[in-house]
Amino acid sequence: MHRVLITEHIHEEGLRDLYEAPNIETIVRLDLSKEELYEAVKDADALITRSGTAVDAKLLDAGKNLKVVARVGVGVDNIDLEAASKRGVIVLNSPTGNTLAATELTMGMIIAVARKIPQANNSLRKGEWRRENFLGTQLYGKTLLIIGLGRIGSSVATRAKALGMEVFCYDPYINAKKVENLGVRRLDDLHGALALADFVTIHVPLTGETKNMIDDEALRSIKKGAYLINCARGGIVDERACAEALKEGRLAGAAFDVHAVEPPKGSPLFDPEIAAKVVLTPHIGANTKEAQQAVAEIVVKNLIKALNG
């Protein structure tokens, strides 16, 4: 019998295969202190977490029988991968399960910032009727630069084209055939590409190379009056430089789901002076029922395979 310890809230439907597996005992223990966690992991063959459980060398040592650590979702930054690999522990995640959810939020953010939907909603709720304050921008015929044409970037490309946008991409690592099949134009100079785009949306991972990729210099290359959307990772855009670009009118708007610090403390994007141009959400890109179920199902399927050898 394999013992699987779950330490965070996971979509119940997504766990169904685990509960039905004849040779698996599932133990759910939420909100454990560090000490309780070390104790609970002692007899576990596998651990399922989200981002809230620090799977460090100490925890891996406490879990002497651990063969698999599964992260429901994408980011594995809460897991010490080197320590896991040294101990022969397999680390699983589910990067494909939330592609559609992140894509749809991105489309929502593009439309929300172009038409100032959140600001109009707030204004109307205050009893105002100020249609003149909410003059928007049409998407049809506009250019969209997608930085990172991976799973989410390409799915955004298809939908933006359906809205009649002209789509460019900047992704030095992408296969030329894929770009061609998507009907997207590839541009190899980031700053040149920024100068052409009415909308820029970011879909790269946060790496040494992409950290602060959209810095003050990049923001000065951007076409005047463009909109910037970041539903990828905080830290890719320099928030201070972005707030300056909004204040100076170099950017017409910005929509961010992800933030350099989460929850964001003292972010320059919260400056009331630019509130009319900014849409902010609390990292909800993957937050749909379907995506939460999908990420759990994918991880559970692979975890059962790994445990059964």
Q: Which is nearer to ligand NAD, 150 or 253 (CB)?
A: 150
Does residue 204 interact with ligand NAD by CB under 6 A?
Answer: yes
State how far the alpha carbon of 55 is from the alpha carbons of 52, 79, 217, 230, 261, in Å.
9, 5, 38, 28, 21
Interface pattern 68-97 for ligand NAD (x via CB under 6 A): ------x--------------------x--
Residue 245 · residue 270 · CB < 8 Å: no
Considering only 38-46, 77-85, 228-236, 242-250, which stretch makes contact with ligand NAD by CB under 6 A?
228-236
User: Helix, strand, coil shares of the chain as percentages rounded to 5?
Assistant: 40, 20, 40
Q: Which is nearer to ligand NAD, 142 or 203 (CB)?
A: 203
Interface pattern 238-257 for ligand NAD (x via CB under 6 A): -------------------x
Does residue 210 interact with ligand NAD by CB under 6 A?
Answer: yes
Question: Which of residues 170, 199, 227, 256 is near ligand NAD by CB under 6 A?
Answer: 170
Does residue 171 interact with ligand NAD by CB under 6 A?
Answer: yes
Does residue 259 interact with ligand NAD by CB under 6 A?
Answer: no
Cα separation, 80 vs 151, whole angstroms? 25
Cα separation, 200 vs 183, whole angstroms? 17
**What does residue 226 show for φ and ψ, rounded to 5 degrees?**
-80, 170
- Kindly state the DSSP code that residue 210 receives in the 8-state scheme: T
Q: Which is nearer to ligand NAD, 71 or 203 (CB)?
A: 203
Does residue 186 interact with ligand NAD by CB under 6 A?
Answer: no
Q: Which is nearer to ligand NAD, 108 or 153 (CB)?
A: 153
**What does residue 71 show for φ and ψ, rounded to 5 degrees?**
-105, 115
